[in-house]
Amino acid sequence: MRINKPKDLSSEELCKLVVKGMQEKKAVDIVVMDLRDVKNAISDYFVICSGTSDTQIDAIADSVEEEVFKASKINPWHEEGKMNREWILLDYVDVVVHVFKKERRVFYDLEQLWGDAEIHLVEETFA
């Protein structure tokens, strides 16, 4: 699953860049879900966070894209949700980024849905 990513940027390094972008805009409840050992997983990692307003959700997604591009010169392979700002998805193939409005995150509960994944709560010093 190494599409659209430089060879010297691992999935783990990509996760750290994503988290850094999230932290730059004060995202809350950041988690990294390790899906590598989950059967039929669609990526290696999900990185999930919440924002409290439409403006913050936009800013978080933009910050993630900027951090990843600055370090690797890649853009998301696919993105969704920028118009409604309830749930923005940035797909980097090996790492899928989910930026939720708090209510939407509770409703979809990806952490429970992908319950077989190893979940890491991100502390301030992760990135």
Q: What are the φ/ψ torsions at residue 115 (nearest 5 degrees)?
A: -60, -20
Where in the chain are the domains? 11-121
Residue 69 confidence (pLDDT) above 80: yes
Is the CB of residue 94 less than 8 Å from the CB of residue 68? no
Q: Please state which of the four CATH numbers 3.30.530.20, 3.30.420.40, 3.90.1640.30, 3.30.460.10 is assigned to the domain occupying 11-121.
A: 3.30.460.10
Rounded distance, CA 44 to CA 11, Å? 7
**Where are the extended beta strands (E) located within the chain?**
28-34, 45-51, 78-80, 87-91, 95-101, 118-121
Q: What is the mean pLDDT of the chain?
A: 90
Please say if the pLDDT value at position 99 is more than 90.
Answer: yes
| % of the chain surpassing 90 pLDDT | 80
Residue entry with tokens 């403006």: 55
Q: How far apart are CA 32 and CA 20, in angstroms?
A: 12
pLDDT for 9-68, tens place per residue?
899 999 999 999 999 999 999 999 999 999 989 999 999 999 999 999 999 999 999 999
Q: Which amino acid is present at 83?
A: M
Residue 70 has pLDDT above 80, yes or no: yes
